[in-house]
Structure 1
Amino acid sequence: MEQQEATEQSELPDQAPAFMKAPDETPCADQSIESRVEAVLLSVSRPVSETKLVEFLGLGAMNTKDKMPITMVKQAIDHLNAEYAQSGRAFRIERLAGGWQLLTLSKFAPLMTRVHGAKSQGRLTPASLDTLAIIAYRQPTLRSELEAVRGVACGDVLRGLMERRLVRITGRAEELGRPMLYGTTNEFLRVFGISRIEDLPQARELRNPAG
């Protein structure tokens, strides 16, 4: 029995298999921050926040007051954009929907349309755009408020905007029946190319005074 146990122990590997090891806290640490930021943004199709970039790059815990990791990420993005501009690249890193995304320059839009074709969802109708504008500037807003402003029923249009993930239910109003409140989404910011809702033209003047 002792001989069998000794044999079994001798068969154990000196090092734990790779899948049992703790993940590297700083992946690709031998590469520059610029290269790692670029690699992350190339691999995703949606904006990535600075906090997420810090987490992915293993630059430090974000539960502290230390802003240095975020500063490092911003500096890396500035350096990358400067390199892209200097070398005449067709893309740059843009701030979008509260994060950062690698995007093709707008001057290449005709070429991208030829390559990828028109989007399958098609354009928003005038009614959808009107409703979306009211929600964007007055959110959170009630369906009854939308219909009062537009003068027509908005149920079908509202459902269509929610199916496109441009509008979401943000809560319920503190009034009789507790009707649902509507607001825009991060997808809305991404589609319209803005970083935050305050970047809308004259947003402060046009927002719902009660908002």
Structure 2
Amino acid sequence: MSSEERRDSLADQAAAWIPPWQRPTPPAESPSGDPGNDLPPEVPDPSDVPAAPVGGTGETLGDAAGEGTEQGETAERGAERTAAAEQGAEQGETAVQGAERPDPAAQGAGQAETAARDAAAGVPTKQPAGRRRSAPAPAPAPELDDAELRGALEAILLVVDEPVSELTLAQVLEQPAERIGPMLDEIAAGYTAAGHGFELRRAAGGWRLYTRPEYATYVERFVLDGQSVRLTQAALETLAVVAYKQPVTRSRISAIRGVNCDGVIRTLVSRGLVEECGAEPDSGAFLYRTTTMFLEKLGLNSVDDLPPLAPFLPDDVEELADATR
């Protein structure tokens, strides 16, 4: 064999050589089922293959290396395509989720359109729970004319059991307070001018109907019917001391009267003419004062209307006071 034929044979063998990683995998079992056929194909002994020239072998190895590089580049491009595909899938999923979420602007426009249709159809709209409108303030009560205001005041004054103030009457009737006082004065003047057996007067900080003094004997005869409910002299003296010295303790009252007044004080408290009003800071003794009923019974508006004591005191009051010291 000449050298040229030998080089051609070696070149053919190198060109026909297949790398191990590209060789097909042998079947697990032959179609015939013969265990002897399961052996891998005979691999030629490298020693039997004649050595290839340096140039031919380098070219073959270079081709193999180039093919491996191409396969690596192909795998890298495939990985890049796979990553790009995954990123595209994530973006697609995000877009789908965004499409599923309601657009606030579109939702608001839809609610506005629905509210407009309901308003056109006369359907009452519901306010949001957190933005409900406050209830409108109640309309002020209509102002009563003089005749109706007079009748309302007279009806209330007939049923009260104690003097009622002008402010209370204004609140009950829902009328300005500046109208109540002049109307009560007008009613009182009308009763007096008409000569009724009762009168309207101010007492204990309020207004109440009372019988006239000139008819007191008839009223007493009807109410008492032979029973005497007059206070004793001791009770009257004690009540006078409380009225002019209030608030005052029992010991002070006893010192002024010169006798023990515990029993009299209990009687006045039970009659509703005197009441407790706290305790003295120094001694802790109870303090007493007159009640609203006391002002009612005497027809007074306040204790400041009590008559002065000077005309009723003896001329030698200073000598008596020195004698008791």
The bucket for the TM-score relative to the shorter chain is 0.7 to 0.9
Displacement over 6 Å in runs of 4+:
203-206
Q: Distance in 2 between matches of 1:117 and 1:198?
A: 30
8 Å contact kept, 2:158–2:209? yes
Match for residue 160 of structure 2? Answer: 44
Unaligned runs of 5+ in 2: 1-137, 313-325
Please tell me whether Structure 1 or Structure 2 has the larger radius of gyration of its CA atoms: 2
Among 259, 273, 294, which residue is 1:166 paired with?
273
Residues 30-179 of structure 1: pairs in structure 2 closer than 5 A: 32-60=148-176, 69=177, 71-118=178-225, 122-176=229-283, 178-179=284-285
Unaligned runs of 5+ in 1: 1-22, 61-68, 207-211
Q: Once the 2 structures are TM-superposed, how far is the Cα of residue 78 of structure 1 from its aligned partner?
A: 1.6
SS at match of 2:179: helix
Match for residue 286 of structure 2? Answer: 180
Q: Distance in 2 between matches of 1:185 and 1:123?
A: 18
SS at match of 1:153: coil
Using the size of structure 2 for normalisation, the TM-score is 0.49
Distance 1:29 1:59, change over 3 A: same
Q: Once the 2 structures are TM-superposed, how far is the Cα of residue 114 of structure 1 from its aligned partner?
A: 2.6
Q: Distance in 1 between matches of 2:189 and 2:296?
A: 23
User: What amino acid sits opposite 1:200 in the alignment?
Assistant: L
| Structure ranking higher in strand proportion | 1
Match for residue 127 of structure 2? Answer: none
Q: Distance in 1 between matches of 2:193 and 2:140?
A: 33
Using the size of structure 1 for normalisation, the TM-score is 0.74
8 Å contact kept, 2:191–2:200? no
Distance 1:25 1:35, change over 3 A: farther
Q: Once the 2 structures are TM-superposed, how far is the Cα of residue 76 of structure 1 from its aligned partner?
A: 0.7
Match for residue 21 of structure 2? Answer: none
Identity of aligned residues (%): 37
8 Å contact kept, 1:98–1:195? yes
8 Å contact kept, 2:280–2:287? yes
SS at match of 1:36: helix
RMSD: 2.7
Match for residue 298 of structure 2? Answer: 192
Distance 1:33 1:146, change over 3 A: same
Q: Once the 2 structures are TM-superposed, how far is the Cα of residue 119 of structure 1 from its aligned partner?
A: 8.5
Distance 1:104 1:93, change over 3 A: same
User: What amino acid sits opposite 1:186 in the alignment?
Assistant: T
